[in-house]
Every structure is written in C-alpha cells, then in structure tokens.
Amino acid sequence: MTAGSFIHPTAIVADDVTLHDGVHIGAYSVIHPGVVLASNCFIGSHCELGVPVGGGRLPATGDNGRLVIGPDSTIRSGGILYTNSVFGSRLECGHRVTIRENTTAGENLRIGTLSDIQGDCSFGDFARLHGNVQVGKGSVLGSYVWVFPFVVLTNDPHPPSHHCIGVTLEDFAVLGAHSVVLPGVKLGRESVVGAGSVVKSDVEPGVLAAGSPARKLCMASIVRDKVNPAKRAYPWQAVFDRGLPWQGVGYAAWRRENPDAGLPTNQEERR
Amino acid sequence: MTAGSFIHPTAIVADDVTLHDGVHIGAYSVIHPGVVLASNCFIGSHCELGVPVGGGRLPATGDNGRLVIGPDSTIRSGGILYTNSVFGSRLECGHRVTIRENTTAGENLRIGTLSDIQGDCSFGDFARLHGNVQVGKGSVLGSYVWVFPFVVLTNDPHPPSHHCIGVTLEDFAVLGAHSVVLPGVKLGRESVVGAGSVVKSDVEPGVLAAGSPARKLCMASIVRDKVNPAKRAYPWQAVFDRGLPWQGVGYAAWRRENPDAGLPTNQEERR
Amino acid sequence: MTAGSFIHPTAIVADDVTLHDGVHIGAYSVIHPGVVLASNCFIGSHCELGVPVGGGRLPATGDNGRLVIGPDSTIRSGGILYTNSVFGSRLECGHRVTIRENTTAGENLRIGTLSDIQGDCSFGDFARLHGNVQVGKGSVLGSYVWVFPFVVLTNDPHPPSHHCIGVTLEDFAVLGAHSVVLPGVKLGRESVVGAGSVVKSDVEPGVLAAGSPARKLCMASIVRDKVNPAKRAYPWQAVFDRGLPWQGVGYAAWRRENPDAGLPTNQEERR
C-alpha cells in the first residue's frame, strides 16, 4: 500500500495495477490488470476499471492493455472504464459513467452521471459533459466544450452501415440539452446549439442555431442575459468561470497570459 | 438488529445508521453514516445510501448529514441516494436511480429506473416519474404530477451561466415522453404536454400543448379516450386510479372527503 | 461446479440455479433462484439475475419462476434481468441493461449499455438495440430490427391511463436515434425512421419517414450511400453484414438458402 492510500477490504485489485500515493478505492470495486491510478485519485464503490476490450473475459495472453487515470481524479460510484485509454489530471466522473476503449482526454474532463463514451474518442482540456450524454465512436471534442443532458453524438450516416464518421466540436462550442447531432457534423468554435435540436449540417463559429433541423438564428454574441439584460450571455467564457482556469481572473486577462490554450493548433495535435 | 429485519452479511452498514423494524438490506449495498430507514423499508442489492455531498470522500468532520427514508419504502437494486434529503412514506424507486442532496418529497413518490434527480428539488405527494427522467437542480414538482420517460427539466437559461432557474410542475400536470422543459417554465395544474415537445413558455392550467416549441392545441378536457370515445381522457384523475388514494372510490368522492389534498396552499409550503 | 466454469468467490448463487458447462460469473454478482444459464454464458461483475417480479423481496412461496439464458450469451457488468423470461442463444447485453419479466427473444438479441426493456415484450432473431433505448411494456419487435440510441417505444395513448398498446416493429425495420414512437404504431418491414422523429402514425413497408410528426419522405431504397453514391444504402441488409447470418455470403445468397428466416409467418407465431 502506498502512502496515504485507502483500499476498502472488499475491493478487488489485480496484481498488475499501479497505485500512486493517496489513492482511495471504495467498497466492491474491481480493478483489472493494467490500470494506473495517479496520486490522490478517488474511486467510489461498485466501480469496474480496466474492463478488457469486448467487455467480457480477460485476454488469455495476460496483456490487458493500460488504463491511465491522471492525478486528483474522481470516479464516483458505479463507473465502468475500459482499458486502453488515457486521461489527464482531474478527470471527474459522475455516477455510473461508461467510457469505452481508445479514449484520450486532456486535463479536467468532467462527465456527468450515466453518460456513455463509446470509445475511439478524444477530448481537449476542460471539456464538460452533463448527465445522460452519449458520445458515439470517433467523436472529437475540443477544449472548453459543453454538452448538456440527453445529447447524442451519432456517427453512422445511414444506419446500419459500415461507415463511422464522428462529430467534431470545436473549442468553446455549446450543445443544448436533448439535441442529436448527425454524423460528420462540425460545430464551430464558440457556436451554440439550442435545446431539443436535430443538427444535420455544420454550424459556423460563433453562430447560435436551433430547431429540427437546426438553422442559424443569429450570432450567439447578441444574446442578452435573461436576468441582467445589460450583459451579453455569449461568448460564455466572458461571464462564466466556475471550475475553469480563468476563475477569479476573468477570461480576457487569462487569455492574454495563455494565448495558446485551446487553440486550433492544439486541436490538430489531438486528432 | 431490529425486529424482523434482514441485513445481508455482505451489506456494509455504518455505525451511525438508524434502522427501524422490518428493514431489508440487500447484498453488496453500502449504507453511509447518517442514514435513517423507517420501518419495513426494502433496500435492494448494490445500493449506496447516504452518499456525502460532492460524491467523494466522507467528511473529515465525521458529520455526514442525514438521509431519512419514510416507512414502507422500496429502493430497488443499484440506487444511489445522497445525504441531506427527506422522503415521506412509501418512496418507490426503480433500479439505478440517482437522487442528490437537498431533495424533499411527500408521500408515495415513485421514480423509475435510471432516473436522476439532481438535488435541491421538492416533490409533493404521489408524484410519478417514469424511467430515464432527469430533474435539474431547483425543480419544484407538485402532487400527483406525471413525468414520462426521457424528459429533461432544465435550469440554465443560456448555458453555461451562473443562473439556476428551476421548472415548476403544478399538481396533476402531465409531461409526455421525450420532452424537454426550458428553465423557469411553469406547467399549470392539470396541464398536459404531448410527447417529444420542447416547452419554452408556461402552459396554462388544463391546457394541452405539444410541439417544438410547444403550443396550445386545446383544453385537455376535450380529448376523447382512444379505446372508448364516449369517455374523456382528461382530467386523468377521473379515469385513472392505480396506486392512488382514490383507487376504488373514484376521484370525485375522494376529493369531497379530502378537499385540501394537493392544493396550491400545500404547494406554497413546499417551496 | 460444472466443467470449465468459473464462479468468482464473491458471487452469490442461489441453490435453485442451473449452470451448464463453461459458465463464467463475475465478482459481486447475485444469481437468484430459478435462473438457468446455458453453456458458455459470460456474466460480468455486479449483475443481478432472476430478480423477482416486483423487484423487491423473493416470493414467500419459494417459487421465483424461471429466467432462461441461451448458450454463448454475454451479459456485461451491471446487468439486471428479471425472472420469467426466455432468451435464445447468443444474447448480448451491454453494461447496466435492465430487462423486466415476461420478455421472450429469439437468437442473437443485442441490447446496448443502459437500455431498459420494460417487460411483456417479444423480440425475433438478431434484433439490435443500441444504448439508452427504452422499450415499453407490450412492444413487439421482429427479426433483424435496429433501434438506435435514446429511442423510446411508448404504450399509453393518453397518459396516464389503464391502456397499454405496444409498438410493433416488423422485420428489418430501422428506427433512428432520439426518436419516440407513439402507442400502437407499426413500423413496416424494411421501413426507416430518421433521427429525432416523433412517430405518430404507421410507417408503410420500405418507406423512409422523418420529422415531428414523422412523414414519408421517399422509399428508403432510393437513398444513396454518402461515401459511395453509386451504391444504395437501403435495404440495409444488402450492404451491411457484421455479426449477421449472411456475413461473408451476401444477403441475397443467404436468403435463397433460408427463405423462411424472419418472415411474417414467424412474426405471427411470436405474438
């Protein structure tokens, strides 16, 4: 046992697991071979980490790949994470999250209760998914994107077929609750999609779109704050900062100090 | 062990837990400190009750607040209920329900499989939520309301923002499957929203609304029963009684005996 | 223990359970009385099989009915299956699937992560449900049907009422993501419903319908493949074969050898 760690006596931890200092593993959790938990990770009860590809028996070869969880992460109870994925620091999962194999994420990814990442996906830094989101295979989500409840990112243009064409969310894009995005669609930087939309074609950067099919309504930057109409609601990063790197500093000041954070060059690297 | 109780030997029950007579706790369930289970509560397997606020480690102070579950309640397997909530008698949860902190409910709340109550919510008596419903923080649901599958009650008028403006469902309101209700919207007493709607503005009492955005179609009371067109379908309490206090008696007769049940005065108290 | 089986020492298996050769039961799973697992079934961790009707205590009579799972089936971790259901060979469930009582299925049913079958349902052979699908009580799904994520099959024509009128999907029908189908609707053989639709009336065989309410757009057979426009996308069985009986053979050749597979006569028998 590493320094300051707590492993509940009912947790089942395979031999080939790497635990750094200050790790907590809750009751009745199962940690399969190949899992690496960096320092101060909290794993709740009833979790299953390092699920083998296919979701069934461990491979007869003994090589289960690797699932790497960055430091200071929290995986709340009931989480199921497959092997062959890498998460940066401060991953935060709600309850009963599912994340399949070949997923990569930068820092501070947050995924809400019951959300389901279907694998072969990538996330930038500070991506935020609320609960009950389904991210189809092959999706590419940038940094500082927001996806609200019951959104589905699809990937098959005429299902069922052998095609898999993921959705792309550029940095700072916002996708409203109960929307579905059709395969291959790109939501541009700082674009906003209203709740209950069916998004069939690309949304240009900074545009607010809504409806079924979603159409451009206006530039998001002209939307006024409902509570304080003297303020603008978008771009959201100018008015919202909770849990974000510009908290208490303001986005403009932070951006001057961090001119490259979440810019398209990073996004290209992530692909 | 209290009289007539059953606690599975694998269940983990903290010292600071209060169990009344006839309680059943299933295999592999975890009961954190501060939980109070009234008489004859059934807790299925793989549940986690009294989850600390934040969903992570128990508080270092040792004070985990209180989760109070009323008598004769059933929490089916996989339920996750946070601390700091109070439920009246006969709470009934499907499987894998999530209920966050600061939730209060009257008697006989029913919540279907996989539904997710995000906290800071209140429910009257006999509220019914089907499966896969997400109730956003700050929602206020009256008595005898019905929420059907895949409904989302949102709370942020231009996400992400610092605003949280919950939805209100007045007594006897009905919200059809796969609908989304935008922040601050009020569904009036005995109103009905059709399936697949996006509700952007208030629905007046007794009105049937549907579509995206939802618009008034007619008064609900003129809708005829599909199977027996000589009967009216709404107000629903005149034709449906399963599990409700007027079962076998009829709503009109029950109302004469209980003139104050589920009336606006009660609703005000709940706020 | 039967030949080649593995039962994790933490699994709880009732006496009145029948296990055939090569069965695997994962950690912290609970197998209630009356469950029959045919040869080579894989049951992941944290599952609960044979849940009694009602989802609560086991019946005092000691007779919990029977849940029969066909050979070579896979139930991934977190699955909850009630008693009184029968599944043919090669049932395949994603994680945290829920299947209530009185469900019958032919061979090779696949149900994605978090999907919820509400009981009194029937499935033909090779039916495919993606994740987060809710199938209401009384639904009848034929063979080779596809249901994509966040679809709801409803059953109450003016909820809440005492009516339960299920949806019917004929063989080879396809139902796009985030759609809702109203009670009693029939989707005809080889019909296709676009994503985000609200289906209020029957869809004729071979028709592509979409929208809210869903309307006929064209015959599905005129839709061209997005990637290779020289090919047609529907009927899908001519272009897609993964995991299907005509894999590597081609649908036309397979159909000549199996003229009765998934035809209406079978469907009548299933009712």
pLDDT given at position B262: 63
Contact B46 C51 (CB under 8 A): no
Q: Is A161 on the interface with B (CB under 8 A)?
A: no
**Cα–Cα distance measured from residue A133 to residue A147, given in angstroms and rounded to the nearest whole number:** 7
Q: Is C235 on the interface with A (CB under 8 A)?
A: no
User: Hey, which residues 41-60 in chain C have their CB within 8 Å of chain B?
Assistant: 46, 48, 51, 55-57
Q: In DSSP terms, which residues pair with A31 in a beta bridge? A: A13, A49
Whole-complex ipTM: 0.94
Contact B159 A178 (CB under 8 A): no
- Asked whether B48 and B67 are in contact (CB, 8 A), the reply is no
Range A62-90 average pLDDT: 98
Mean of pLDDT over chain A: 95
Q: Is A182 on the interface with C (CB under 8 A)?
A: yes
**Cα–Cα distance measured from residue C226 to residue C229, given in angstroms and rounded to the nearest whole number:** 6
Contacts C152 to B, Cβ<8 Å: 132, 149-150, 177-178
pLDDT given at position C263: 56
Which residue do the tokens 């399969």 mark?
A32
The full 3-state SS of chain B, as one line of letters, equals CCCCCEECCCCEECCCCEECCCCEECCCCEECCCEEECCCCEECCCCEEEECCCCCCCCCCCCCCCEEECCCCEECCCCEEECCEEECCCCEECCCCEECCCCEECCCCEECCCCEECCCCEECCCCEECCCCEECCCCEECCCCEECCCCEECCCCCCCCCCCCCCEECCCCEECCCCEECCCCEECCCCEECCCCEECCCECCCEEEECCCCEEEEEHHHCECCCCCCCECCCHHHCCCCCCCCCCCCHHHHHHHCCCCCCHHHHHHHC
Q: Which of A255-264, B33-42, C112-121 has the lowest mean pLDDT?
A: A255-264
**Cα–Cα distance measured from residue C62 to residue C79, given in angstroms and rounded to the nearest whole number:** 23
**Cα–Cα distance measured from residue B9 to residue A35, given in angstroms and rounded to the nearest whole number:** 30
- Give partners of C (≥3 CB pairs < 8 A): A, B
- Within 10 angstroms of residue A196's Cβ, the number of other Cβ atoms is 33
pLDDT given at position A259: 87
Q: Is B223 on the interface with C (CB under 8 A)?
A: yes
Q: Is C242 on the interface with A (CB under 8 A)?
A: yes
Q: Is A165 on the interface with B (CB under 8 A)?
A: no
pLDDT given at position B114: 98
**CA nearest A147: which of A167, A121, A176, A172?**
A176
Name the phi and psi angles at A193, rounded to 5.
-115, 130
Q: Is C201 on the interface with B (CB under 8 A)?
A: no
Amino acid present at C19: L
pLDDT at residue B269 above 80?
Answer: no
**Cα–Cα distance measured from residue C223 to residue C210, given in angstroms and rounded to the nearest whole number:** 13
Contact C152 B177 (CB under 8 A): yes
Q: Which two tokens stand for residue A206?
A: 């900074």
Q: Is B226 on the interface with A (CB under 8 A)?
A: no
- Give partners of B (≥3 CB pairs < 8 A): A, C
Q: Is A254 on the interface with B (CB under 8 A)?
A: no
* Chain C nearest C-alpha distance from A162 (Å): 6
* Chain A nearest C-alpha distance from B56 (Å): 7
DSSP of A233-257 = --SGGGT--TTSTTTTT-HHHHHHH
* Chain C nearest C-alpha distance from B161 (Å): 26
Contacts B96 to A, Cβ<8 Å: 78, 96
Contact C46 B44 (CB under 8 A): no
CA A169 to chain centroid, in Å, comes to: 11
Contact C239 A161 (CB under 8 A): yes
pLDDT given at position C269: 42
Range B175-200 average pLDDT: 97
Name the phi and psi angles at C52, rounded to 5.
-65, 150
Counting residues of chain B whose pLDDT is more than 70, the rounded percentage is 96
Identity of the residue in B30, B157, B178 whose CB atom sits nearest the CB atom of A226: B157
Contact B132 C116 (CB under 8 A): yes
For A41-181, where are the E strands, in sequence order? 42-43, 48-51, 67-69, 74-75, 80-82, 85-87, 92-93, 98-99, 104-105, 110-111, 116-117, 122-123, 128-129, 134-135, 140-141, 146-147, 152-153, 168-169, 174-175, 180-181
Q: Which two tokens stand for residue B213?
A: 């955005």
How sure is the predictor about B260, in pLDDT bands with cuts at 50, 70 and 90? confident
Pairing mode, strands A198-199 and B6-7? unpaired
Q: Is C246 on the interface with A (CB under 8 A)?
A: no
| Distances, alpha carbon C142 to alpha carbons C92, C135, C267, in Å | 17, 13, 6
CA dihedral A27, A30, A31, A33 (to 10 degrees): 150
Q: Which two tokens stand for residue B103?
A: 């939730």
pLDDT given at position A8: 98
* pLDDT, tens digit, 9 for 90 and up, residues B47-79: 999 999 999 999 999 999 999 999 999 999 999
- Which residues of chain C fall below pLDDT 50? 264-271
Q: Is B180 on the interface with A (CB under 8 A)?
A: yes
Q: Is C9 on the interface with B (CB under 8 A)?
A: no
* pLDDT, tens digit, 9 for 90 and up, residues A78-115: 999 999 999 999 999 999 999 999 999 999 999 999 99
Q: Is A79 on the interface with B (CB under 8 A)?
A: no
**Cα–Cα distance measured from residue B205 to residue B218, given in angstroms and rounded to the nearest whole number:** 11
Identity of the residue in A57, A152, A158 whose CB atom sits nearest the CB atom of C225: A158
Contacts C180 to B, Cβ<8 Å: 150, 177-178, 195-196
* Chain B nearest C-alpha distance from A61 (Å): 31
Mean of pLDDT over chain C: 95
Q: In DSSP terms, which residues pair with C117 in a beta bridge? A: C99, C135
Contact A149 B134 (CB under 8 A): yes
Name the phi and psi angles at B180, rounded to 5.
-125, 135
pLDDT given at position A53: 97
**Cα–Cα distance measured from residue A113 to residue B33, given in angstroms and rounded to the nearest whole number:** 23
Name the phi and psi angles at C189, rounded to 5.
-50, 130
* Chain B nearest C-alpha distance from C132 (Å): 9
* pLDDT, tens digit, 9 for 90 and up, residues A15-36: 999 999 999 999 999 999 999 9
Contact C113 A98 (CB under 8 A): yes
Contact B240 C157 (CB under 8 A): no
pLDDT at residue A261 above 80?
Answer: no
Identity of the residue in C114, C161, C198 whose CB atom sits nearest the CB atom of B233: C161
How sure is the predictor about A264, in pLDDT bands with cuts at 50, 70 and 90? very low
- Check whether the bond before B9 is cis (ω within 30° of 0): no
Q: Is B172 on the interface with C (CB under 8 A)?
A: no
The residue among A74, A80, A113 with the most chain B CBs within 10 A of its CB, best to mutate, is A113
Contact B160 A226 (CB under 8 A): no
pLDDT at residue A266 above 70?
Answer: no
* pLDDT, tens digit, 9 for 90 and up, residues B95-134: 999 999 999 999 999 999 999 999 999 999 999 999 999 9
The chain C residue lying nearest A213, using CA atoms, is: C211
pLDDT at residue B263 above 70?
Answer: no
* Chain B nearest C-alpha distance from C215 (Å): 15
Give the three-state DSSP class for A265: helix
Contact C56 B46 (CB under 8 A): no
Identity of the residue in B76, B176, B223 whose CB atom sits nearest the CB atom of C55: B76
Mean of pLDDT over chain B: 95
User: Hey, which residues 83-142 in chain B have their CB within 8 Å of chain A?
Assistant: 96, 98, 114, 116, 118, 132, 134, 136
Contact A178 B157 (CB under 8 A): no
Identity of the residue in C98, C152, C157 whose CB atom sits nearest the CB atom of B178: C152
Q: Which two tokens stand for residue C81?
A: 């299956």
Counting residues of chain B whose pLDDT is more than 90, the rounded percentage is 93
- Asked whether A124 and A145 are in contact (CB, 8 A), the reply is yes
- Asked whether A40 and A34 are in contact (CB, 8 A), the reply is no
**CA nearest B217: which of B166, B267, B176, B270?**
B176
Q: Is B154 on the interface with A (CB under 8 A)?
A: yes
Contact B132 A132 (CB under 8 A): yes
How sure is the predictor about B259, in pLDDT bands with cuts at 50, 70 and 90? confident
- Asked whether B174 and B203 are in contact (CB, 8 A), the reply is no
